[in-house]
Amino acid sequence: MNTFRRCRCLGSIGLALALLPALAAASSFIGPLTVTPGPSTVPANGDVNPYGVAVVPRTSGKLVQGHVLVSNFNNGQNLQGTGTTIVDVAPNGTLSVFAQISAANLPGRCPGGIGLTTALSVLRNGWVIVGSLPTTDGTSATAKAGCLLVLNNHGTVVETFSGTRFGARINGPWDMTALDHGDFAELFVTNVLNGTVAANGNVVKRGTVLRIVLAVPEDEAGDSGGSMPRELLRTTIGSGFSERTDPAALVLGPTGMGLASDGTLYVADTLLNRIAAIPGAVFRFTSAGTGHTVSMGGNLNQPLGVAIAPNGDILTVNAGDGNIVETTPAGSQVAVKNIDTSGAGAGTLFGLAITPDQKGVYFVDDGDNTLDLLH
């Protein structure tokens, strides 16, 4: 009798273990999703290498609710840090240019000029904010500090945020996420040029995460004649992240971020193959250093873009392969899926954003310069 019971018990355990992969897939957000290849992101001027992805939350001016904005990092000659366009992609795949930015016509400082990065956010009050990490020849040797560019709802740059304010410096803004309260917003920005160019390919531990608090007026006129977003506070809330220049990727360092509902900011620590957590990011006034490690290694292979799934899990896409990884806040990597539509694999995935219906993920693929959908 005891033997029979033991056998039944072992059989139940074996069955449970066999079902674990299926149970994990069923409980994960990306597990049941599949990829639909999307439209080209290449505008008439030939800009390539799509980086940032942001869904428009509300119709205003040229901004249309539910459309997706994509920032391009390279120009038509495929030189990194020289892309000047933000394109608009409608749900039916129609492409238009939201903004083409000229360094000669900027209303404020942006050291080095224009090279639009993954740092892209669209605020409900009609403002678009995008990072610039520019070069003159596509190489890290000519990379400059850049800035954050503020555009109105008609795609015109009306102001810039740069240099050092409140003791915190914008220096190579690489990615961004935002907490949008309407009349004010908090931007979270990673910076990757703190000593990297001078280090000439060696790793330096000076990457930062900034929290920038803005007063955000309604962009009713759609021009620079009215009130504009105004910086109220800028704080370094993360510091000491590993970063270095790279001949293929220009620079590697802390990249994507996702803000959880409890105020924890998750950061893709690209060089260390880890997801870091900065607790209390929304109200933090001091640096948490490199945060605490949520997950490291495993399926993480130079994580870049980050988004928070509707179930609270952390979604990251890898630079080292064509995979998206889903990780719980407790650190379990519950799902991994290849989503590269170009077949190029490494170096193709950057920005991503949850779809408005909360059922899928928009992502860019640099291998074929498209905006694709995992749904």
**Count of CB atoms situated within 10 Å of the CB of 169:** 18
- The predicted structure's pLDDT at residue 4: 31
132 contacts: CB under 8 Å, gap ≥ 6: 110, 112, 113, 114, 115, 116, 117, 146, 147, 148, 149, 173
More confident residue, 262 or 3: 262
- The predicted structure's pLDDT at residue 177: 98
The SS3 call for residue 353 is strand
- The predicted structure's pLDDT at residue 348: 97
The SS3 call for residue 48 is strand
93 contacts: CB under 8 Å, gap ≥ 6: 38, 39
- The predicted structure's pLDDT at residue 27: 85
**pLDDT band of 179, cuts 50, 70, 90:** very high
**CA pair distance 217, 215, nearest whole angstrom:** 7
Residue from 160, 213, 177 nearest 55 by CA = 177
- The predicted structure's pLDDT at residue 226: 64
* pLDDT tens for each residue of 68-107: 999 999 999 999 999 999 999 999 999 999 999 999 999 9
- The predicted structure's pLDDT at residue 2: 38
- Exposed/middle/buried for 31, CB within 10 Å: 0-12, 13-18, 19+? middle
104 contacts: CB under 8 Å, gap ≥ 6: none
Mean pLDDT for the chain overall: 93
Sign of CA dihedral 198, 202, 203, 205: negative
* pLDDT tens for each residue of 47-67: 999 999 999 999 999 999 999
Q: Is the pLDDT of residue 225 over 80?
A: no
Instruction: With beta carbons less than 8 A apart as the criterion, state whether 176 and 191 touch.
Output: no
The pLDDT of 104-130, averaged and rounded, is 97
Sign of CA dihedral 139, 69, 351, 207: positive
74 contacts: CB under 8 Å, gap ≥ 6: 47, 48, 49, 80, 81, 82, 83, 138
**CA pair distance 222, 226, nearest whole angstrom:** 8
- The predicted structure's pLDDT at residue 84: 98
Q: Considering the chain, what percentage of its residues have pLDDT values greater than 90?
A: 90
Q: Is the pLDDT of residue 251 over 90?
A: yes
Task: Report the helix count and the strand count for the chain, using DSSP H and E.
Answer: 2, 27
- Give me 367's structure tokens: 């291998």
| Pairs from 21-24 (Cβ < 8 Å, separation ≥ 24) | 24/334, 24/335
Q: Is the pLDDT of residue 41 over 50?
A: yes
- The predicted structure's pLDDT at residue 221: 55
360 contacts: CB under 8 Å, gap ≥ 6: 33, 354, 373, 374, 375
- Of the given ranges (2-11, 109-118, 172-181, 207-216), which has the lowest mean pLDDT? 2-11
Instruction: With beta carbons less than 8 A apart as the criterion, state whether 222 and 273 touch.
Output: no
78 residue type, one letter: N
The pLDDT of 163-188, averaged and rounded, is 97
The pLDDT of 336-342, averaged and rounded, is 97
Instruction: With beta carbons less than 8 A apart as the criterion, state whether 145 and 172 touch.
Output: yes
The pLDDT of 224-242, averaged and rounded, is 90
* pLDDT tens for each residue of 289-328: 999 999 999 999 999 999 999 999 999 999 999 999 999 9
Q: What are the DSSP calls for 202-249, one per residue?
A: S-EEEEEEEEEEEE-----S-STTS---EEEEEEEEEEEEEEEEETTT
185's enclosing H/E stretch is strand 184-191
The pLDDT of 98-120, averaged and rounded, is 97
- Give me 349's structure tokens: 């995935």
Bridge-partner residues for 275, per DSSP?
268, 295
pTM, two decimals, is 0.92
The pLDDT of 13-30, averaged and rounded, is 53
